[in-house]
Structure 1
Amino acid sequence: MTRNAGILEMFKRAHRTGGTMVEVFKSLSLFIIGASIIWSATHFYVHLIHRGYATLQDLLLLFVYLEIGAMTGIYFKTGKLPVRFLIYVAVTAIARYLVVDVDHLKAMSVLTMSIAVIVLMAALWVGDHIHSSED
């Protein structure tokens, strides 16, 4: 029995160590992602300051940075990834793409992306009404 108890204790320690390593990796990765978002957004903002003005596409990109940063911060604090923020990022990215490239897009592409935005917004609405307290 002593041998089995020793093996069981070894597996418990390995499980705890593995869990700790996963948590350290997750925290380090989130910190790197957060720092990269801040660095990229700051670099882009400094570029805007030097240019002297911001276009609508620039403001939409800043919103993408904001939404990804907020999503990362919430995940870092709560350990939960809010799906609604992923949808916000997708809607903003599609809107930015439409604003930037509207002159170069075919009507069918514009229609498809517009339908995608409607579907994403419907998903948010359904999520709000079905799971009002959870994401």
Structure 2
Amino acid sequence: MHGLAESLGNLLVESFHYLALFGIGGITAWAGVDAFLGMLEKGSISVDDILLLFIYLELGAMVGIYFKTNHMPVRFLIYVAITALTRLLISDVSHHHRPDMGVVYVSGAILLLAVAILVVRFASSRFPAAQPRQRVLRDDEVD
């Protein structure tokens, strides 16, 4: 009974997992296409718009990587955050044309996130995730 309940639970969790991934991927693609069509309709494209498309691209890449590997690289989340803050910074400077402490705060946040990527990359190369050990077969065993 316990084995049946565990199998059913695993099936439901996996089903929800894949359904959610397809939903997130579809919504991301839809939002990207909608933003692109809006840019074409507007008749001009700014750097702000291009960075928005990069955000959608990074989100789509995250979904694809998570779908293939069942692992979410933290680096991609940080890349999205850096791109979003860069978009905010460019938009703020291009629209307001005045230097203030907000520019310094956003720039500092981008720098902090870049250092976080450096730390994550260093840590993952220095301390790789443990891979599950594979059982070594004897000569008389069959795979």
If the length of structure 1 is used for normalisation, what is the TM-score?
Answer: 0.86
Q: RMSD of the alignment, in Å? A: 1.6
Q: How many residues align?
A: 125
Match in the other structure for 1:85 = 76
Match in the other structure for 2:121 = 128
- Change over 3 Å in CA distance of 1:77–1:51 after alignment to 2: same
Greater shift in the superposed pair: 14-23 or 44-53 = 44-53
Match of 1:21 among 5, 8, 12: 12
Match of 1:101 among 73, 85, 92: 92
Match in the other structure for 1:5 = none
Question: What 5-or-longer segments of structure 1 have no aligned partner?
Answer: 1-9
- Change over 3 Å in CA distance of 1:105–1:95 after alignment to 2: farther
Structure 2 counterpart of 1:64, which letter? Answer: I
If the length of structure 2 is used for normalisation, what is the TM-score?
Answer: 0.81
Bigger proportion of residues as helix? 1
Match in the other structure for 1:45 = 36
Q: Please list the CA deviations of residues 89-127 of structure 1 after superposition, one character each: whole Å capped at 9, or x if unmatched.
A: 000000111111232887222211111111110011122
Q: Is the counterpart of residue 66 in structure 1 residue 60 in structure 2?
A: no
Structure 1 counterpart of 2:3, which letter? Answer: K
- Change over 3 Å in CA distance of 1:16–1:64 after alignment to 2: same
State the alpha-carbon separation in 1 of the partners of residues 38 and 21 from structure 2: 25
State the alpha-carbon separation in 2 of the partners of residues 53 and 114 from structure 1: 27
State the alpha-carbon separation in 1 of the partners of residues 44 and 99 from structure 2: 29
Structure 2 counterpart of 1:109, which letter? Answer: G
Structure 1 counterpart of 2:113, which letter? Answer: L
Identity, % of aligned positions = 43
Deviation, structure 1 residue 128:
1.7
Deviation, structure 1 residue 30:
0.6
- Change over 3 Å in CA distance of 1:72–1:105 after alignment to 2: farther
